[in-house]
Amino acid sequence: MDEKEAPPLRRRGERMRQAVLAATVDLLASQGMAATTVAAVARAAGVHETSVYRRWKTRENLIFDALAHHSDHALPTPDTGDVRADLTALFTALARYLATPAGTALLHLGTVRGEDDLEEGRRSYWSTRLERAEALVRRGIDRGELATDTDPHLTVEAVTGPLLARVLLTGEPLEETLVPRLVDLVLDGARAPRRQDRRQDRPDGS
Amino acid sequence: MDEKEAPPLRRRGERMRQAVLAATVDLLASQGMAATTVAAVARAAGVHETSVYRRWKTRENLIFDALAHHSDHALPTPDTGDVRADLTALFTALARYLATPAGTALLHLGTVRGEDDLEEGRRSYWSTRLERAEALVRRGIDRGELATDTDPHLTVEAVTGPLLARVLLTGEPLEETLVPRLVDLVLDGARAPRRQDRRQDRPDGS
């Protein structure tokens, strides 16, 4: 074996990981959750079943990792200069994704249950995604659209929490008007306006 | 058997149900989740195991029902005349309950997974609880504290969604300041004040 030609072990490992994750996403999309077994994934990716188990331990971990990886392509990172428009665009895309079978499965597989050693991976997955959305809120603060003491983390949670809770607990649909209404509520507040109709302050005059 | 003395079948069924649920809650509290098996519950309640399975089908359904039943006693229904105080009191109690092992288990067992025929029971459990909280928001609208076009359902979701998402997904703690900050965000909004510091409008002047 030519040492110069051989890819470093890490790179081969990463290439194997990408092939397995891509095969998992393909199988989920074409055959559905039940047909996405470790055996079927290994066959499609051209790797040994034992290699898959060595890396992911369980079928659930594999599918979560594949969906988590895949979801990043489904979400935009809008930067229109208007915090209301940015938040509405990002979270509308999130709501549409969560309403798909892949998005719903991602949420269920991503719940923290203290069951396995990949728990930390699940938690950090959600934290990273929340932080990305927080950047949009921070830009709104910097532009003077939001109060200077706005908590970006809390603001993102107040809009995303209801979406996650609907999918996981109540089963209520994520209708198209839900995200715009949530963004309006969190930006404008439910409190009755005092001096004048607060809505007249809104840049779009709506 | 004296017909006059015999309780109607429904009442006996309800009495059996209450005994089994009480035994389940007792076992959960004293022995923990793993020890709360159908066999142990049946023994403690003095009923046949088969009666438990006939009614609840699975151990998970039984534990969910017991916790759901129990949780109602943990939550107050405040009516202080101030919507901010009412929402803060109710949801602080909810957050404290969700942070307990029983509360966390209730959330996990209560997720909608399309797996069994008690799904509808889970969904309606959450809907009923949300509706109770909505009554607090409606009183705030009636008193003129909240804008007349406030959506009570959405308002409750914006405060509770983040609590549920933290327990189920991110594993972030439900710190004591979380609920007051969420209630403030949802009532006051994150938008920058235009004419004067909006916080000066707040009844408590904080």
Cβ A155–B190 below 8 Å, yes or no?
yes
Q: Look at residue B90 and tell me whether its pLDDT is greater than 80.
A: yes
Q: Look at residue B114 and tell me whether its pLDDT is greater than 70.
A: no
Cβ A191–B145 below 8 Å, yes or no?
yes
> Residue ranges per domain, chain A?
9-56, 67-201
Query: Both ends of chain A: CA-CA distance in Å?
Result: 69
Question: In which band, very low, low, confident or very high, does the pLDDT at B170 lie, cut at 50, 70 and 90?
Answer: confident
| pLDDT score of A116 | 56
Fold topology of B9-56: Arc Repressor Mutant, subunit A (1.10.10)
pLDDT in tens, B56-74: 988 988 988 888 887 777 7
How many Å apart are CA A125 and CA B169, to the nearest integer? 9
Question: In which band, very low, low, confident or very high, does the pLDDT at B11 lie, cut at 50, 70 and 90?
Answer: low
Mutate to test the interface with A, among B145, B170, B182 (most CBs of A within 10 A): B170
Cβ B192–A144 below 8 Å, yes or no?
yes
How many Å apart are CA A134 and CA A146, to the nearest integer? 13
| pLDDT score of A113 | 64
Distance from CA of A101 to the nearest CA of B (A): 12
- List B residues 35-74 in contact with A (Cβ-Cβ < 8 A): none
The pLDDT of A124-140, averaged and rounded, is 89
- Whether A34 has its CB under 8 Å from any CB of chain B: the answer is no
Above 0.90 for ipTM, yes or no?
no
pLDDT in tens, A55-100: 998 898 898 888 888 777 778 889 999 999 999 999 999 999 899 8
Q: Which CATH class is domain A67-201?
A: mainly alpha
Phi/psi at B5 (5° precision)? -80, -30
Chain B hits for A105, CB-CB cut-off 8 Å, are none
Question: In which band, very low, low, confident or very high, does the pLDDT at A11 lie, cut at 50, 70 and 90?
Answer: low
Q: Look at residue B150 and tell me whether its pLDDT is greater than 90.
A: yes
- Whether B144 has its CB under 8 Å from any CB of chain A: the answer is yes
Of B107, B164, B191, the CB nearest to A145: B191
Query: CB of B85 within 8 A of CB of B151?
Result: no
Q: Look at residue A162 and tell me whether its pLDDT is greater than 50.
A: yes
The pLDDT of A139-160, averaged and rounded, is 97
| pLDDT score of B206 | 44
How many Å apart are CA A165 and CA B107, to the nearest integer? 10
pLDDT in tens, A21-40: 999 988 987 888 888 999 99
The pLDDT of A167-190, averaged and rounded, is 95
> What is the CB neighbour count within 10 angstroms for residue A152?
20
- Which stretches within A119-177 are classed as H helix? 119-142, 152-165
Of all residues in chain B, what percent carry a pLDDT higher than 90?
A: 50
Q: Look at residue B186 and tell me whether its pLDDT is greater than 90.
A: yes
Cβ B164–A160 below 8 Å, yes or no?
no
Query: CB of A91 within 8 A of CB of A123?
Result: no
Report CA-CA distances (Å) from B190 to A71, A141, A145, A171, B3: 28, 9, 9, 28, 66
Phi/psi at B191 (5° precision)? -65, 145
